[in-house]
Amino acid sequence: MEFITESFHNKRLKEFNINIKTKYKVKDRVLERNTDNSINDDIIDGVRLEKKYYKDGFLIYKVSNFDPRIHYTYLFNSEENKEVLCPNCGKISTVKEFVNGCPYCHTYYNIDYINKELGTKEHLDNIIHSEKYNKITFIVDLIISFIIVFMYILLNGRTFNIYDVSKIIVGGLVLGFFLYYIFYVLDALILLLPIKIYKNKRNRRQIEFWNNALKNNISKKTFFNNFNYELQRYYYLDNNDVIDYDIIDYLDFDLSTKEDLFITVTVNIRIIKYINNKIVKKVENKKFTLKRDKTFVNKLNGGINIIKCHNCGASIDVNRENCEYCKTKINYLQEWYLED
Ligand SMILES: [Zn+2]
Ligand SMILES: [Zn+2]
């Protein structure tokens, strides 16, 4: 089933014969969505766990570090077998059969999820003192302590005997724990405090931004969805080798309210390209500016949409650039769009 939301991406993947299997964690279940439509579970407020890239059926790449603060929703399966009435000819069909347009009168339908979230950042930054980091500190600290105690005994002892070995072990452990405590406290001060101050500042800016956005009637969900749709146009419509992207984090938002509304968003983005039979991964910091369209009329609803050409009134497929009948350029369907 081809959804408006994914049509650009799917077209690109078809060109390369690449299928992406994505695993999601939803509450305590692991669900899956594949771009070749073999499995498409409904996802509600899910977190991405991993993505596997298959070329001609063979696994060629895997990505697994996803931010648990970025959430995804794709809801449709309950709709598939619902019966709907074609508003044009009055015939009844199931949603599934309507996907490629009304089978009777060939009216175009534009299908979208009844609910979707294409990567909403739900939570702000907080820093975690990672367990792995503590373990490494502890091991390095123990080794250093044993060396210090060993050197001390070697330099001060007249002879080296078996009692000295136990002295080294006991002394090394005592010194180790003592130093570890100092390292831990120092580390928290030297390393973590500046990060904490920086992240707090960033959090405050993001909280401020969304408070301000609310005053200007900006919906968080709409913005994130529109932004991701625009990114798909940006990456998959042009002639390049991008086969996938993931926002690793939204670093900063900026709202400008003169005349028109503009949002500038800074993201950390992972771009996956397929060049010369090889996957090429690149992580970039990028800035995008989106403008709010005051005049946008073609609001897309969840489920089935019939969209008429504003010039001749024919039903249109929004994934095409122009109306099939009169060739008029299709009007924008987003509230927010990328500034060129
Ligand atoms: Zn019809
Ligand atoms: Zn037309």
Residue 310, pLDDT score: 78
Give me the pLDDT at residue 129, please. Answer: 52
Separation of alpha carbons 266 and 199, rounded Å: 15
Per-residue pLDDT at 31 exceeds 70: yes
State yes or no: pLDDT of 66 exceeds 60: yes
For the cut 80, the answer to whether the pLDDT of residue 189 exceeds it is no
Residue 144: what pLDDT?
A: 84
Can you read off the two tokens belonging to residue 106?
Answer: 């060939």
Question: What pLDDT digit, counting tens, does each position of 247-271 carry?
Answer: 998 999 999 988 889 999 999 999 9
pLDDT over 60 (residue 340):
yes
pLDDT at 255: 92
Instruction: Report the share of the chain in percent with pLDDT over 90.
Output: 30
51/217: higher pLDDT: 51
Average pLDDT on 99-109 reads 82
**What is the Å distance from ligand 1's center to 310 Cα?**
20
User: For the chain, how many residues are written?
Assistant: 340
Measured between alpha carbons, how far is 209 from 148 in angstroms, rounded to an integer? 53
Q: Of residues 3 and 44, which shows the higher confidence score? A: 44
The rounded percent of the chain whose pLDDT value lies above 70 is 91
- CA 157-158-163 angle, 5° bins: 60
CA angle at 26 for the pair 22 and 32, rounded to the nearest 5°: 25
Tell me the CA–centroid distance for residue 332 and ligand 2, in Å: 14
Residues with CB under 5 A from ligand 1 (ion): 86, 88-89, 102, 104-105, 107
What pLDDT, on a 0 to 100 scale, did the predictor assign at position 133? 65
**102 alpha carbon, closest ligand:** 1
Sheet containing strand 242-256, strands side by side = 242-256, 262-275, 278-292, 336-338
With beta carbons less than 8 A apart as the criterion, state whether 322 and 108 touch: no
Three-state secondary-structure class, residue 322: strand
Tell me, in angstroms, the distance from the centre of ligand 1 to residue 289's CA: 40
Find the ligand nearest to 84 CA: 1
DSSP characters for 35-84? TTSS-B--EEEEEEEEEEEEETTEEEEEE----TTEEEEEE-TTTTT-EE
Degrees, nearest 5: CA angle 48-221-108: 95
pLDDT tens column, 237-246: 887 899 999 9
Average pLDDT over residues 322-340: 81
Dist. CA 326 → ligand 2 center (Å) = 4
Distance from C-alpha of 76 to C-alpha of 31, rounded to nearest angstrom: 14
Higher pLDDT, 262 or 158: 262
Average pLDDT over residues 222-226: 89
pLDDT at residue 122 in the model: 74
Count each helix (H run) and each strand (E run) in the chain, helices first.
6, 16
Question: How far apart are the CA of 330 and the centre of ligand 1, in A?
Answer: 21
Q: pTM for this structure?
A: 0.75
- The model's pLDDT over 119-140, given as tens digits with 9 standing for 90+, comes to 888 776 655 555 666 777 778 8
> What is the Å distance from ligand 2's center to 111 Cα?
19
Q: Which residues contact 297 (CB under 8 A, 6 or more apart)?
A: 310, 331
Q: For the chain, where are the E strands, in sequence order?
A: 18-26, 29-34, 43-55, 58-63, 70-75, 83-85, 92-94, 110-112, 115-121, 242-256, 262-275, 278-292, 303-305, 307-308, 315-316, 336-338
Between residues 316 and 63, the one the model is more confident about: 63
The C-alpha angle with vertex 216 and arms to 224 and 46, in degrees rounded to 5, equals 25
pLDDT at residue 231 tops 80: yes
How many A from CA of 88 to the centre of ligand 2? 16
Is residue 229 over pLDDT 80? yes
| 3-class secondary structure, 133 | helix
